[in-house]
Structure 1
Amino acid sequence: MNSSTLPIIDISGLRSPDPVDQHLVAEQLRQACEQRGFFYITGHGIDPALIQSVFSASQLFFDLPMIEKLAVDKKHSVCNRGYEPLKAQTLEVGAPPDLKESFYVGTEVAANDPRVLAKRFNTGPNQWPENMGDFRGVMQSYYQAAYDLGATLVRGLALSLSVPISHFDGYLKEAAATLRLLHYPPQPANPEAGEKGCGEHTDFGGVTLLLQDDAGGLQVWDKVSRSWIDAPPVPGAFTVNIGDLFARWTNDRYVSTLHRVINVSGRERYSVPFFFTGNPLHKVECIPTCLNEGEQPKYPATTVEQHQIECYRRTYG
């Protein structure tokens, strides 16, 4: 089985004033989310030049001397922002630490903001490397573009679930999101048993928008064939997947699918996931259209923030 089993959806209709166009896209989203939880999107409207700038700036950052990267180590941050060294995270239980380094960016919230003073989870100022030219400007421009795209997709998901397009407006208000730059060195010739660039896992949040370079390495679990299938980059497209939050919200009607990265390209690999998390205080309980008659919700009500805290505890605990 190959990557052609992952659908490619042109989402430009979601920006159309015609509800018919919107619903045509929503129906494709529904099928993809129920069957796979993974798909590609085109018609996203983000400037290819901006995407290229993100990759270029990311590579320049990871090429910095370690002492400069460690100056913005995320252990200095109250909100998980900044640099994370190789092997700092273990996403797959029982496997060696992930062979990747990363840099986290979130919404810029001043240290004296009431939300920061109240110690809201993952809320606060970013850390930025020095002497990196327009690194900050590029990342903030892309963050806003990806944020807007995430919100557009979430509204499309509302339609796909047969609720009004405004259903998730509370979730979208002051939504949290995380931009993560990732660098995977080539997989060593003699890796530890089970060592991967990124161990098998599902994503925590609502929706993930992924940019991949051309190295490949992303694999998605196919529950029908019970095997891993490749999800290589598609030129001009984002790779999108549903996270645990939306699976929970939909009573698992929408699938949060296991995926992993094994960089066997023999060269460096760069990718840029954007995790759209949502309003931390928004209540998450089963959407009525996701319950059949007589069926009960599988999960108790929670908030976006509490869900995230539980997920972080599992992976970093």
Structure 2
Amino acid sequence: MSVGKLPVIDLTPMRAGDEFHKRALGDALREACVHTGFFYVAGHGVPQALIDRVFAASKAFFDQPMADKRKVDKALSAANRGYEFLGGQTLEPGAPPDLKEGFYIGEELAEDDPRVLAGAFNMGPNQWPAGVPDFAPVMMEYYGALLELSREIMAALALSLELPEDYFEAFCTEPLATLRLLHYPPQPAQPLPGEKGCGAHTDFGGVTILLLDDKPGLQVWDALNERWLDAQPIPGTFVVNLGDMIARWTNDRYRSTLHRVINTSGAERYSVPFFYSGAPQHEVRCLPGCLGEGEQPKYAPVTVEGHLREMYRRTYV
């Protein structure tokens, strides 16, 4: 393994910068998206106090007895909300199940919401654990903060593509997004062949905003040098990566990069990814400026929901 230097992008200019500094941010972001598809973001505006409360509530949930966690098993939810047991997912084909347990949260919708009644993809009420005080309000406050940060990142991505800052505004209207709490026990001293916290994979959707604790474990594939890079936690930042939909949207100009987790810290490890996929019926079609002379789009136009359903079908069926 190798310690890589993923770029750090300061998002402050998106809120307080002039056009010169916004263009400079866009140029730096373009370099990151073309070469790695992974970067840290600083100047994100999410309060550290809120982040601390999210980690505390997450740890409190996972510390509960299994019987209590099973009361909110995501198998009980038509919208894929709730608890996923240790080994409940295998992200890397041919590898053993992932050494992690999780909890899924989405937009809070009532059973009689028109989108729920229409059977919209992954939409419905959340399941909330009864034994963790303030769990729901803390997570929904963080969910709202990450929605705003995602819109800001999409605006920065528009600038990186030399598009108007508001180009993705419709994409960011009533978006699909999933907050996921993850707990990784220490890597076994004698793991099964290929066994790891999280198997090598790319993300399906738009952008992923990953909150790390202080434990190492995240590794990003460096295709140019054919090696895994250790993405060490940097206090005060998030790790952001692009999903398959952004690669498709840019005709593979921007990268959706393989990554995995191996918790060699010897301690319990926690992380919180936020998957932002955008408005379900928004059309994903090759973006202006992403075709060279004589080049054709590699992918047919598709809606966000259509893309996600296809990705789920390939992975889970």
**TM, length-normalised to structure 2:** 0.98
**CA contact 1:90–1:316 (8 Å) conserved in 2:** no
Matched, 1:70 2:70: yes
**CA contact 1:15–1:22 (8 Å) conserved in 2:** no
In structure 2, what is the equivalent of residue 183 of structure 1? Answer: 183
Query: What is the correspondence of 1:245-284 to structure 2 with a 5 Å cutoff?
Result: 245-284=245-284
Note the alpha carbon deviations across 1:166-204, whole angstroms, 9 max, x for none: 111111010111100000111111211111100000011
In structure 2, what is the equivalent of residue 209 of structure 1? Answer: 209
Task: Return the letter of the residue paired with 1:15.
Answer: R
Paired residue secondary structure (2:289)? helix
Separation in structure 2 between the aligned mates of residue 10 and residue 125 of structure 1, nearest angstrom: 35
Paired residue secondary structure (2:274)? strand
Matched, 1:45 2:24: no
Query: What is the correspondence of 1:140-219 to structure 2 with a 5 Å cutoff?
Result: 140-219=140-219
Cα distance, 1:316 vs. partner?
A: 2.4
Note the alpha carbon deviations across 1:119-154, whole angstroms, 9 max, x for none: 111111110000311111110110011110011000
Note the alpha carbon deviations across 1:251-283, whole angstroms, 9 max, x for none: 010000000000111111100001111001101
**CA contact 1:37–1:242 (8 Å) conserved in 2:** yes
Separation in structure 1 between the aligned mates of residue 70 and residue 131 of structure 2, nearest angstrom: 14
In structure 1, what is the equivalent of residue 242 of structure 2? Answer: 242
Cα distance, 1:72 vs. partner?
A: 0.4
Q: Mark the runs of 5 or more structure 1 residues left unpaired by the alignment.
A: none
Cα distance, 1:5 vs. partner?
A: 2.3
Task: Return the letter of the residue paired with 2:273.
Answer: P
Cα distance, 1:109 vs. partner?
A: 1.2
**CA contact 2:2–2:227 (8 Å) conserved in 1:** no
In structure 1, what is the equivalent of residue 57 of structure 2? Answer: 57
Task: Return the letter of the residue paired with 1:35.
Answer: H
Cα distance, 1:21 vs. partner?
A: 2.1
What do you get for the CA RMSD once the two structures are aligned?
A: 1.1
Q: Which moved more, 1:301-310 or 1:19-28?
A: 19-28
Separation in structure 1 between the aligned mates of residue 83 and residue 292 of structure 2, nearest angstrom: 45
**CA contact 1:82–1:127 (8 Å) conserved in 2:** yes
Separation in structure 1 between the aligned mates of residue 183 and residue 31 of structure 2, nearest angstrom: 32
Matched, 1:294 2:294: yes
Separation in structure 2 between the aligned mates of residue 72 and residue 313 of structure 1, nearest angstrom: 24
**CA contact 1:280–1:303 (8 Å) conserved in 2:** yes
Separation in structure 1 between the aligned mates of residue 43 and residue 17 of structure 2, nearest angstrom: 15
Task: Return the letter of the residue paired with 1:55.
Answer: F
Cα distance, 1:16 vs. partner?
A: 2.5
Q: Mark the runs of 5 or more structure 2 residues left unpaired by the alignment.
A: none
Paired residue secondary structure (1:130)? coil
Cα distance, 1:61 vs. partner?
A: 0.2
Separation in structure 1 between the aligned mates of residue 32 and residue 192 of structure 2, nearest angstrom: 35
In structure 1, what is the equivalent of residue 28 of structure 2? Answer: 28
Note the alpha carbon deviations across 1:77-132, whole angstroms, 9 max, x for none: 01110000011111101111111100000011111111111111111111000031
